[in-house]
Structure 1
Amino acid sequence: MIILYDLPSNVPQPWAPNIWRIRLILNYKRLPYRTCWVEFPDVESTLRSISAPPTSVRNDGRPIYSLPAIVDPMRSTRQPVVLSNPNTIAEYLECTYPARQIFPEGSRAVQSLFVYYVSEIFVKPLLPIMVPLSHQRLPERSQTHFRAHSPIPLSVPPEREQVWRAAQEQFNFLAGILDKNAGMDGDGVVVMGHELTYADFAVCSVLIWIEKVAPHEGWARIRQWNGGRWGRLWERCQGYMDVF
């Protein structure tokens, strides 16, 4: 059984979007797994203890360890496979367990570019609100650690409506791109036209983050934007939101 490492919270279900990307894939591919909960202060020591590679490297050369991470026992080999970084994990799961594809033939490069956009540009306007709200959902010990290391202020800005308007501009832009799939080329909801793929899970993981952390202020409005498109995408992925 695959082990997925995730962050505990004080809401009924986890919220971290990068980790939800992998959980959605595991559920979509119907792979048996269990979740191992790791608080923020223990992430680096835990990942080092299982010989997980660092997620990235700081400018001074020091490694950065972050979640998600997985351990796949791989019965056919003597050593388990241990990975971090959501994109690396997604590609590994696709290559190792190709049933129910998330990277249709010829789409890997385009999807990688799309997911980069979601991670680096699409979510940026949300951070001033979502990071402080996410911090509030952490256990007390993790909150203390997060406050000491967060590069983003942890007080929700007073100009909340201005932040949501900036976020809506990104949602509008992405909706305009996805509208190109409407009609004969696709249903206009999913990125590749008809079937769910990794790109959809990258977007839906952001929607889940908002739905779990800001259900009334954020999700209540976003699910209505762009003619209800984001609510429809969330519903398409809902069957893969189980937590084991």
Structure 2
Amino acid sequence: MAPPNIILYDVPSATPEAWAPNIWRIRFVLNYKRLPYRTVWIEYSDVERTLRSIGAPPASIGRDDRPVYALPAILIPQRPPESPIVLTTASVIVEYLEMAFPARPVFPEGSTALQVVFVHYLNDVVVKPLLSIMVPLSHIRLPEHVQAHIRGPAMAGPQRERAWLAVKEKFDFLAALLDKNNGVDGDGLVVMGRELSYADFVICSVLLWVERVSPHDGWTRMRQWSNGRWVRLWDRCKDYMDVL
């Protein structure tokens, strides 16, 4: 039986390019697994209304116990009379896709727990200093009528340089960790040693974010780090960057 045509919800920017890193994680997995899907674009101001209308679970609970609706989200049609499966948050979506569509796994056998911990490390340590740079830049790239939904003060020159130095330090350390895969364990480029996995797509989602939002500053810098490691990883993931 052919897999269903999945709907992936995404937010548009002022340019036609997909940029949101958490949504790119899902798109990478869908492309890698060769699952049929289509992107439905929704404005930030319409995210909660749209997700409520399809019965999506909230991504979290906010102040005053109010549910918070956020992307990524996917809808997987089912045969009537069954209701569609609607999922939110990247980790829940990816783990479901891996279970429901096990061909071309992004969690090689026995690696799920290790990759989950690695992704937490990426989010909490490696990517954290990048947020102060990228969130304001992402805000600028949004259409004017939705910019109020993401706020962030732009950095002054010296402050931005210090922030980029902090980001480089984290990515250099990550590169040193991955270099331990050189030799009999792998080529030192990808997290699991030889084959692409979910952890690589998480890293590449961040690279795409920088390339799409800060192509002439941020991406120019990162291309030169660690002897071009991040460009090589980009090239390794390039076949799975289609936006359908």
> What TM-score, normalized by structure 2, do the two folds share?
0.95
Alignment of 1:40-189 (within 5 A): 40-75=44-79, 78-147=82-151, 153-158=152-157, 159-189=159-189
Q: Give 3-state SS (helix, strand or coil) of 1:4's partner.
A: strand
Counterpart in 2 of 1:150? Answer: none
Instruction: Sort the Cα spacing of 1:25 and 1:76 in 2 relative to 1 into closer, same or farther, 3 A.
Output: farther
State the shift of 1:94 in Å: 0.4
State the shift of 1:144 in Å: 2.2
CA deviations 1:54-109 (Å, max 9, x no partner) are 11112532211110100000338711110000000000000001010000111000
**d(CA) in 2 for partners of 1:72 and 1:199?**
23
**d(CA) in 2 for partners of 1:77 and 1:172?**
52
Larger mean CA deviation between 60-69 and 190-199 belongs to: 60-69
**d(CA) in 1 for partners of 2:80 and 2:233?**
37
Gaps (5+ residues) in structure 1?
148-152
Instruction: Sort the Cα spacing of 1:224 and 1:114 in 2 relative to 1 into closer, same or farther, 3 A.
Output: same
CA RMSD of aligned residues (A): 1.3
The alignment status of 1:230 with 2:230, answered yes or no, reads yes
**d(CA) in 2 for partners of 1:68 and 1:10?**
19
Q: Which amino acid aligns with 1:211?
A: E
**d(CA) in 1 for partners of 2:70 and 2:235?**
29
Residue 13 of structure 1 is aligned with which of 8, 12, 17?
17
Q: Give 3-state SS (helix, strand or coil) of 2:15's partner.
A: coil
Counterpart in 2 of 1:205? Answer: 205
Native 8 Å contact 1:6 1:19 kept in 2: yes
Q: Which amino acid aligns with 1:208?
A: L
Larger mean CA deviation between 88-97 and 9-18 belongs to: 9-18
State the shift of 1:119 in Å: 1.7
State the shift of 1:145 in Å: 2.6
**d(CA) in 2 for partners of 1:115 and 1:100?**
20
Q: Which amino acid aligns with 1:24?
A: F
CA deviations 1:206-240 (Å, max 9, x no partner) are 00000000011011110121111100001000010
Q: How many residues align?
A: 239
**d(CA) in 1 for partners of 2:188 and 2:15?**
32
Q: Hey, which bits of structure 1, 4+ residues long, moved more than 2 A?
A: 74-77, 144-147
Native 8 Å contact 1:11 1:212 kept in 2: no
Q: Which amino acid aligns with 2:212?
A: K
> What TM-score, normalized by structure 1, do the two folds share?
0.95
**d(CA) in 2 for partners of 1:122 and 1:137?**
23
Native 8 Å contact 1:24 1:240 kept in 2: yes
Native 8 Å contact 1:135 1:154 kept in 2: no
- Identity rate, percent: 61
Q: Give 3-state SS (helix, strand or coil) of 2:216's partner.
A: helix
**d(CA) in 2 for partners of 1:171 and 1:196?**
19
Counterpart in 1 of 2:242? Answer: 242
